[in-house]
Structure 1
Amino acid sequence: MSGLYTPDLARIHAEGYNDTFDEAHDWLAAEILHGPVNAHLFDIGCGDGTWLSVAEDRGVMGEGVDLSPAFVEIAQARGLLVKQGNAADIHIPKGTTAVTCLGEVLSYIDTTTKHDTLLPVAQAAFDALPSGGLLFADLIGPRCLPHARRNTGADWQMRIEVTVERERLTRRIETQVDDRVDTVIHQQSRCHPNSTKRALETIGWHCEILDSYGPAGLLPGRFAIKLTKP
């Protein structure tokens, strides 16, 4: 068992899952461009950098951070401004006008704090962003239920088993690439939309609960938030 995203799992994700938010990209870029002037994006949990690259193509320059060295290496090889970092103690770069956290990033349980990173990131972003600044994130909701599935690629196989216990979701991911077999465990919080909204508005955000990113529906059992700084 090794890190959150091993090199093999990062590669599988980049090859097989980097189109998850394709239909959301135009909408997200437009939202950011309608925010504060001199739009600058900070993408937390940027993965292989697909969204950052698309955002740049649409006129939104930005940078990103990811916990996985394997993902950081892939993104940097694409010429993107990405570094390794932990959402639990994130620093929002000066000049940022919008923060995105796509793919349930803020639902992950930090191994040090034993909590998800939603509120620490929301507080850091609120402190750093200008009036009108935005934060978008999708989260695991209470209706995300146990399930299992298997996917295959040209030279890989992956089996995912999801179990749920109260407010905690555990995802066991087994990968096989050629003769290499690995297992990774992801743990995430299941958030309730109403209590999430109240907690975020206590920080000072205006919070909208979304069931999609514009035309792009979310995965089953997820919901999204759009935060705007007054």
Structure 2
Amino acid sequence: MRSTFPPVDFPLYGLPADPQLPGRLWNVEGELGAPTWALWWCFGRVAEPTHGEVWVQVGCLPRERHARVMTPRGGDPVREVAFAATFALTNATLPSEIERPDGYLDRVVDFAGRRADGYERWTDVTWRVDGRAVPARLVRWAGAWAGFTTAAADVDLVAVGHGLDGAHLSLVELADTSALLVDHRPTIVVDDDVERGLETDSRQDDDDTHGGWPLHPDHGDVVRGS
């Protein structure tokens, strides 16, 4: 099945070019045929978020459209940006089915929502966006981290990662995304063949054996309702 989205009409940001952290398209959020409200990259040499490896996911959320979709009846649009971060964090650190606590999947989305509700209590950090120091908020959980900044023009930026210091993240606008396996100007087409191609990208390590995130004490917070 081919999933088609119109050309991206907002700035895209990612990590500065680094041969040790190749990037690729990770996810596109939206209704088919309509402008996307979030586009995600993944930077790293593994096909999936893997404990012990260096990887960063970067989400670019067009501010006005994302707020319009996520808060149609009003509300706090920044909380929805924080939720994008916590949901991605809990998804990236999902334990294997064997180790997963009972009831985990039934409760993890509510847990991500509660953590997003308290975004004002997250750690204040400083990121750099196109070389400019900007305020950001960061939360650490299960051995990984998630954060966001609303200081870029036109887009809110979310990042989730492991093995790289999330408190001093640097992001740059990507004028040319050809190195990330997609050009954001033509129509985006996501289908099974493209996804398989990304997972078997020759730049990734051949011995990737991702089988779920190692069980961490923080995972117990989900089922305890913390």
Same-fold status (TM-score > 0.5): no
User: TM-score normalized by structure 2?
Assistant: 0.27
Higher RCO structure (Cα 8 Å, ≥6 apart): 2
User: TM-score normalized by structure 1?
Assistant: 0.27
User: Whose strand fraction is larger, Structure 1's or Structure 2's?
Assistant: 1
